[in-house]
């Protein structure tokens, strides 16, 4: 994991300081998501003054790249909707209602927000 951090191309150069090493030991389970979050931040943000600070915050808070967060939200919605018998299956971005109708996932999430 530390080698992956060393190899992240960013400016200023990523430094494996004592805080990084401590955070990696304490939050080991969050490290892969935090690395992916940092890579996405480097690719999409205008400028990062301290990639170390971005990584530490992501690791401590369990942040993941935006795409992973969206996938997690979709999974949570689908499980809720299935328990409510709103949908019975999902394939890609299409969900299927109990009567067999195929509907776009985004449309169903709009029609049936979690908890209502």
The pLDDT of residue 18: 86
Q: Which of 20, 16, 17, 3 is nearest to 58 (CA)?
A: 20
Contact of 82 with 88, CB cutoff 8 Å: yes
The pLDDT of residue 21: 87
pLDDT block averages, 10 residues each, the chain of length 116 = 71 74 90 89 83 91 76 85 92 89 92 80
The pLDDT of residue 89: 92
The pLDDT of residue 95: 92
The pLDDT of residue 11: 54
Domain boundaries, the chain: 2-64, 67-111
Q: Which of 105, 76, 79 is nearest to 93 (CA)?
A: 105
> How many other C-beta atoms are found inside a 10 Å radius of the C-beta of residue 59?
24
């Amino acid at each position: 994991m530390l080698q992956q951090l060393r190899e992240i191309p960013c400016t200023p150069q990523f430094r494996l300081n004592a805080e990084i090493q401590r955070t990696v030991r304490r939050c080991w389970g969050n490290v892969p998501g935090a690395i992916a979050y940092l890579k996405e931040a480097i690719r999409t943000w205008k400028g990062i003054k301290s990639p170390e600070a971005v990584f530490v915050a992501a690791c401590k808070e369990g942040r993941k790249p935006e795409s992973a967060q969206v996938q997690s939200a979709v999974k949570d919605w689908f499980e809720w909707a299935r328990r409510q018998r709103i949908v019975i299956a999902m394939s890609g971005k299409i969900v299927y209602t109990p009567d067999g109708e195929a509907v776009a996932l985004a449309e169903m999430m709009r029609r049936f927000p979690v908890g209502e």
